[in-house]
Amino acid sequence: MAKVVVGMSGGVDSSVTAYLLREQGHEVTGVSFMLWEARERTDFRTCCSLEAINGAAETAKALGITHRVIDVRGDFIDKVIEPFVDGYLHGITPNPCVLCNLHIKFPYLLKEAGVIGAEFISTGHYARVERVDGHCLLKKGIDPVKDQTYFLYVLNRDTLCRLLFPLGNYTKESVREIARGLKLPAAQRPESVEICFIPEGDYPSFISNIVPEAAKPGPIIGPDGSVLGTHKGIFNYTVGQRRGLNVSSAEPLYVIKIDPENNAIHVGSREMAFKREMTVGDLNWTVPPVKRVTAKIRSMMRDEAAELLIEEGGD
């Protein structure tokens, strides 16, 4: 069988991934990344804490596989944290996990694979790779609740062809059952539920600590153009947000637009928050584009039917 490098976060998914690949006869090497505050954080709620790295090492020992730790903090700051902060300052709600997959996780797994001569890399994502006529296609996992292809769309075909996703054919509960049956250290560990470099999920405080001048007050503007209140920095808001607006209104108001040029937040009714079309960028074509597609704007929402229109000169 083949040599495989597995990204291990200390959680149940990557632990069972390493086990399944070992059981298939592969020679497995586990790799964990030191990303951000790994030295300070001591909980299992994030994938880069010291305890998470130690947990991955403990699991690797239990499985009888090699485990390595790679320090990627410099690249993580430059390629994930700084774009994350910059996105919020420009009125965009970024997805740091996508940036991490593109710039950190998969490139470094491939780099480690090159060092040890491994043919494949693997992670604990709930996704599948389908190999058809020499082409590799990213497919959803069988568990609709845990499908994670949303975070993997940036991977190119060469990377996909070197990927193994054992969990794509499992549900989350069946993965936990495997871990419990094997008495793996990760079996009862909580699932990672927050951005790994944001303490307690409080991203506004994180951003204001890095860029204090970003907490610049500005107007909250209603549907009729009147000023309803004052915001505390546009990075505190995202389109569709209702809570925390602190404005008086006879009906519930939602953020419908963030205007970074004028440092303004526009609010309106729930109906005004819905859009029938949007402009998208940073696309990654692994197959020729088609007109009829499905789309979603956040990982946990249901896919919706959509029509794709490619602009002249667009990418």
Q: Which residues are catalytic?
A: 100, 196
Question: Phi/psi zone of residue 246: left (φ > 0), alpha (ψ -120 to 50 degrees), beta?
Answer: left
Residue 32 DSSP SS3: strand
Instruction: Please provide the distance, in angstroms rounded to a whole number, between the alpha carbons at the two ends of the chain.
Output: 39
Amino acid identity, position 213: E
**From edge to edge, which strands make up the β-sheet containing 163-164?**
66-71, 27-34, 3-7, 120-122, 163-164
Structure tokens at 215: 């907490």
Query: How many angstroms from the chain centroid is the CA of residue 162?
Result: 20
Q: Residue 151 gets which letter from DSSP?
A: G
Tokens of residue 105, six digits: 């996780």
CA dist 130 and 137 (Å) reads 5
Contact between residue 104 and residue 97 where contact means Cβ atoms under 8 Å apart: no
| Contact (CB, 8 A) for 42 and 49 | yes
Total Cβ atoms within 10 A of residue 19:
23
